[in-house]
A and B are shown apart, each in its own frame.
Chain A
Amino acid sequence: MAEEKETKSIDQGTLELIEKAAKEGVNTTFDRAESIKACPIGSVGSCCKHCGMGPCRVPLPKGKEETPEDKKKRRGVCGATAETIAARNFIRMIAGGAAAHSDHGRGVAELFLEVAKGGAPGYEIKDEQKLLQVALDLGVEIGERSNNEIAADIGRIALGEYGKQAGELITLRKAPLKRQELWRKLGVAPRGIDREIVEIMHRTHIGVDQDYKSLLKQGVRTALADGWGGSLMATDLQDILFGTPAPILGQANLGVLEEGEVNIIIHGHEPLLSEMIVTVAQEPEMIKLAKSKGAKGINLSGMCCTANEILMRHGVPIAGNFLQQELAIVTGAVDAMVVDVQCIMQSVQTVAECYHTKIITTSPKARIPGATHVEFDEHDALKSAREIVKTAIENFPNRKGNIHIPDNKTDQIAGFSHETINYLLGGMFRASYRPLNDNIINGRIRGVAGVVGCNNARTKHNEAHITMVKELIKNDVLVLTTGCNAIACAEAGLLVPEAAKQFAGKGLAEVCETVGIPPVLHMGSCVDNSRILIAATAMVKDGGLGDDISDLPVAGAAPEWMSEKAISIGQYFVASGVYTVFGVTWPTTGSKEVTDYLFKDMEEMLGGMWAFEPDPIKAAHLMIAHIDKKRKALGIDQARERVLYDMDMRRELDAV
């Protein structure tokens, strides 16, 4: 039993709840991952089900080298080769991921426009600074106009970017100049966000684009529409509405649940309704109602990226990441789990039926049979939020006796937006990335890594995340994190300044201590990977480290990825010039040509490329080797200290 436990999570509380679920006969994702084996043909991209003549399976021959004759036969009924099939599958994953992020962005833009027009009571423009910033980005006139007038123009332009048919996305202009030129030269600068996604669906239909290189190029274009378009706009507009994150103290892990209070978990990815729930949960009438039901108060916590959003802006604690969503319910102490969109397991409802938890769906795009549906109405969001909080409070007396909340929670500092990093490194009058670049040049910081992405039930929960991040910071690599990796790092105690002394190499620890930051900086949710793109661009523009992102000593990784969004994120990082390593599994290994194109040829084309390495230590070493390669190319591979010359030393120089 002890051996079995070790294979599922590195987190003690998670193991306790897996055991509790087993004792109580509750089926969880950990059980299903054991009983359902991944399809070996689909997992390598060798199954095509795009038409009624299939599904066609075109696997590599088992246990022998493929001969040219064998290869000729590896085709679907329509004649599509294994390369075409693998590339089609891969870019449909990009389309799915880009659609998810970008539709999130569209929802924010729609609300944003309503707020500007005064049609969304309860919401307001909280960050004028960011409003002005985005106005400058989009070319909106500022002058003496009111915030709402400026915001209305921003909202209209932002929404227009989705349906744009020609030209290129306005926000691409934020990228380094050299990168923009490269995208234009390669013909991968995205036109409109929706257009690129639709074009993938068209090209991958039977009998359309059957050149794997051409297919993958459209994948690049669509991923860029996500990272530098939909995701970036989601982040920017959310910052204007809810505030640009600044350092804030919070807590993480299942131990944030309180036995004596009404526990409401907000799960998903969009902060639009959850911002209102945060407000409503603090209303005296709600607290009074909770007390009237025998609770001491209302305890709000988050799960997955909605958690990251409300943590970054309000310090609301995080109950867990993707693989902990069912286990939170297994505690028996969750009175309501409010879900919006993305990464919500359908089984939260079946697990909830074993306890008293109410699952409340809120998006018309994400319904679950059996769940209570309270639709988010931006025109009266406070009403929706009050209904949800009341439902949770009224469910408190229905708790059964089988409650167990693990005694594990850790402190974390989150809220490292690009704007805040810039401010922290220089202050109000000299905000700058210069100290970061200087410390990279002098070798105290070896490089920067973006470690992001999901959990995957086919690997030990959080193990690859934490092993990789610890290895990177031990080797003086500053880590920027988002999504489920950020939550894993919080649970492992890596998001506090003290972690630098304990886990980081000497050089990185010195810098962290001087600035007062953790060695791993929490930058937000998965749409907030756009913040990492902007931070990388600021490093380029500050100077001294080349003139494109592909020149920087940086790397990216998603060691426990599982979603299509992760593939889209990885592809836009690669297309932005970043070496990007994924763990767990790789979805194109059914075609050597497609895999080689992604792992080798893309570097020549884009300066960044994909890599696959399931061992997190080896993956971290690949990233470090890439960082060292870039340091050597920049001529900063030898550590050099600035020396202040005194008069004697100057005289010695003169004598030479």
Chain B
Amino acid sequence: MEYKIKKTKAPGRDEVELLGATFEEGKPEGEDMGKWRQKLDSREERLKYLENGERYFYSQEWFGSEKRKNPA
């Protein structure tokens, strides 16, 4: 990971160097703005997301309120 150094003025001191944010900016800009699905790069990642993120429909194990139910 590359650390970003930000220079800023501090009270009672001259310019100081601060370690910048390492997280992804919360406001993406441009064409991809809001298109979260593009974060998944490969077919493997996409299938994994379906199994976990969309577990209600695609988990290997049944999830939630229907877990205890007999198959329809």
Contact = CB atoms under 8 A, between A and B. Distances in A.
Partners in one complex: yes
Interface of A: 127-129, 132-133, 136-137, 142, 174, 176-178, 180-181, 184, 243-244, 246-248, 415, 419-420, 422-423, 426, 428-429, 431-433, 537-538, 540-547
A177 B49 contact: no
Contacts of A431: 49, 52-54
A15 B2 CA distance: 58
Contact of B50 (A136, A174, A178): A136
B40 A129 contact: yes
A138 B19 CA distance: 50
A547 B58 contact: no
B49 A129 contact: yes
B72 A133 contact: no
Contact of B72 (A181, A428, A546): A181
Given A127-B37, A431-B52, A133 B58 contact: yes
A547 B34 contact: no
A537 B40 CA distance: 25
A428 B50 contact: no
Given A177-B69, A547-B65, A423 B47 contact: no
Given A132-B43, A246-B37, A422 B54 contact: yes
A428 B34 contact: no
Query: Which one of B35, B58, B67 has the highest number of Cβ atoms from chain A below 10 Å of its Cβ?
Result: B35
Interface in B43-72: 43, 46-47, 49-50, 52-54, 56-58, 63-67, 69, 71-72
A142 B47 contact: yes
11 contacts: A133-B50, A177-B72, A246-B36, A248-B33, A428-B39, A428-B49, A541-B56, A541-B64, A542-B64, A543-B67, A544-B65
A301 to B, nearest CB: 20
Contacts of B43: 128, 132, 142
Interface string B9-47: 000000000000000000000000111110110010011
A544 B72 CA distance: 20
Nearest to A547: B65
A426 B56 CA distance: 14
A174 B35 CA distance: 25
Contact of B56 (A127, A184, A420, A537): A537
Contacts of B49: 129, 428, 431
B36 A423 contact: yes
A261 to B, nearest CB: 22
Interface of B: 33-37, 39-40, 43, 46-47, 49-50, 52-54, 56-58, 63-67, 69, 71-72
A540 to B, nearest CB: 6
Nearest to B59: A541
Contacts of B71: 177
B9 to A, nearest CB: 32
Given A177-B69, A431-B53, A541-B65, A420 B36 contact: yes
B65 A540 contact: yes
B53 A174 contact: no
A537 B64 CA distance: 11
Given A136-B57, A540-B65, 19 more contacts: A128-B43, A129-B40, A129-B49, A132-B46, A142-B43, A174-B57, A177-B69, A243-B35, A246-B36, A246-B37, A247-B34, A415-B34, A420-B36, A431-B49, A542-B64, A543-B65, A545-B65, A546-B65, A547-B66
Contacts of B39: 428
B50 A129 contact: yes
Contact of B35 (A246, A422, A538): A246
Contacts of B46: 128-129, 132
A563 B72 CA distance: 35
A546 B66 CA distance: 9
Contacts of A429: 52
B66 A244 contact: no
B69 to A, nearest CB: 5
Q: Which 5 A-B pairs have the closest CB atoms?
A: A431-B53, A543-B64, A541-B56, A543-B65, A177-B72
Nearest to B63: A541
> Which of B52, B57, B58, B69 neighbours the largest number of chain A CB atoms within 10 Å of its CB?
B57
Contacts of A426: 53
A180 B71 CA distance: 11
Contact of B69 (A132, A178, A246, A422): A178
Nearest to B57: A174
A181 B69 CA distance: 12
A132 B47 contact: yes
A547 B69 contact: yes
B26 to A, nearest CB: 10
Nearest to B70: A177
A563 B65 CA distance: 36
A132 B50 contact: yes
A120 B60 CA distance: 36
A167 B13 CA distance: 78
Contacts of B34: 246-248, 415
A422 B37 contact: no
A181 B36 CA distance: 35
Contacts of B63: 541-543
B37 A244 contact: yes
B24 to A, nearest CB: 11
A544 B67 CA distance: 12
Contacts of B65: 540-547
Contacts of A428: 36, 39, 49, 53
B30 to A, nearest CB: 13
A608 B71 CA distance: 23
Contacts of B37: 127, 129, 243-244, 246, 419
Nearest to A551: B65
Contact of B58 (A128, A136, A176, A544): A136
A423 B64 contact: no
Contacts of B52: 429, 431
A230 to B, nearest CB: 20
A180 B72 contact: yes
A136 B46 CA distance: 12
Contacts of A537: 56
